Amino acid sequence: MAYETIEVRPMAGALGAEIAGVDLTNLGNQAFSEIHQALLDHQVLYFGDAPLDDDQLEAFTLRFGPFGDTPFVACMPDHPNIIEVRKDADESGINFGGRWHSDFSFQETPPSLTLLNARTVPEAGGDTLYADMYSAYDALSDGMKTMLEGRRAVHSARRSYGTGGRFTANPNLTRMTVHPSKEGDAELSHPIVRTHPETGRKALYVNAVYTVRLEGMTDAESAPILDYLYAHSTRPEFTCRVRWGEHGLAIWDNRCTQHYAVNDYHGQARLMHRTTCAGTKPV
């Protein structure tokens, strides 16, 4: 489409665009409509200069829809819909979000969108990678598409937040406040190929963090198929990369992307404020 109130600069061939020429604290209806359309067109948007305070971040999030639920990870006491995604300069543990995934796909209605606003960024490193699940699906062979059509995969938070998950086994992995529990062991299934409710396009919907097996199959039987899909869906030609600035803001569509926070900034601090928008049941 032709954009009249914003500048849209594609980041890569598959997905992602930088947005300029707009003040997110004073956003008219036409500008917001164009941002929404750009998100549907490019799946990931990055605003290089978005110095929002927490109230402004929440208000902008709500333009897209109601907040999503945030289980297992503590939100800010005075802003119960914002997570502080942080790693301090003296931490040597994990980088939160440091594997390819789609946010909270273990939920019955996973979040549609995630917004991440930079507060403190390393001098170098700490980028976020994104992968286009539309392109990943489109590039599958006809035979693979036929095999996957109508099949479902089982998702669970157990590896991260369940009773045997990594945060239970090692509470000191991060200084972020995480509350693993037996609720994290729950399982549910989603279509392996989901249809985006706004664009009508098909996208792969499995990820190595929360997908545990194919429905009706064992973990071992599922592994060769899932491992192939994980590797296929994150091929370089399906990806883009956000290099964070001090006031950067990214928005991404969990219904058709995966993302990966790169853990390459040891000895430096990184602090981001994160919100999500409620989604719908994948179909």
* pLDDT tens digit sequence for 58-75: 999 999 999 999 999 999
- The DSSP annotation for 108-125 comes to SS--SEEEEEEEE--SS-
Name the band, by pLDDT with cuts 50, 70 and 90, for residue 258: very high
Token pair 């979000």 is at which residue?
A: 97
Q: Exposed, middle or buried by CB within 10 Å (0-12, 13-18, 19+), for 102?
A: buried
| Res 47: pLDDT | 98
Name the band, by pLDDT with cuts 50, 70 and 90, for residue 171: confident
Whether 203 and 14 have beta carbons less than 8 Å apart is answered as no
* Mean pLDDT calculated for residue range 188-198: 98
The fourth-level CATH superfamily of domain 7-277 is Clavaminate synthase-like (3.60.130.10)
Name the band, by pLDDT with cuts 50, 70 and 90, for residue 273: very high
pLDDT reading at 2 higher than 90: no
Cα pseudo-dihedral 231, 13, 200, 276, rounded to 10:
70
Name the band, by pLDDT with cuts 50, 70 and 90, for residue 168: confident
| Res 225: pLDDT | 98
Token pair 């392996």 is at which residue?
A: 192
Which of the pair, 172 or 245, is modelled with greater confidence?
Answer: 245
* Mean pLDDT calculated for residue range 23-27: 94
pLDDT reading at 92 higher than 90: no
In tens, the pLDDT along 172-192 reads: 788 899 999 999 999 999 999
| Res 179: pLDDT | 92
Name the band, by pLDDT with cuts 50, 70 and 90, for residue 22: very high
* Mean pLDDT calculated for residue range 123-142: 98
Q: What is the mean pLDDT of the chain?
A: 96
* Mean pLDDT calculated for residue range 94-121: 96
pLDDT reading at 260 higher than 90: yes
Domain boundaries defined on the chain: 7-277
Name the band, by pLDDT with cuts 50, 70 and 90, for residue 166: confident
- Distance (Å, rounded) from C-alpha 264 to C-alpha 63? 33
Dmax (CA) of the chain: 53
pTM (2 d.p.): 0.96
pLDDT reading at 94 higher than 90: no
For residue 278, the SS3 value is coil
* Mean pLDDT calculated for residue range 155-173: 90
| Res 172: pLDDT | 79
- Distance (Å, rounded) from C-alpha 247 to C-alpha 52? 8
Name the band, by pLDDT with cuts 50, 70 and 90, for residue 95: confident
For residue 86, the SS3 value is strand
Of all residues in the chain, the percent with pLDDT exceeding 90 is: 94
pLDDT reading at 78 higher than 80: yes
pLDDT reading at 1 higher than 80: no
Give Cα separations from 54 to 28, 78, 79, 81, 238 (angstroms).
Answer: 20, 10, 8, 10, 32
Residues involved in catalysis: 101, 103, 259, 274
- Distance (Å, rounded) from C-alpha 120 to C-alpha 279? 29
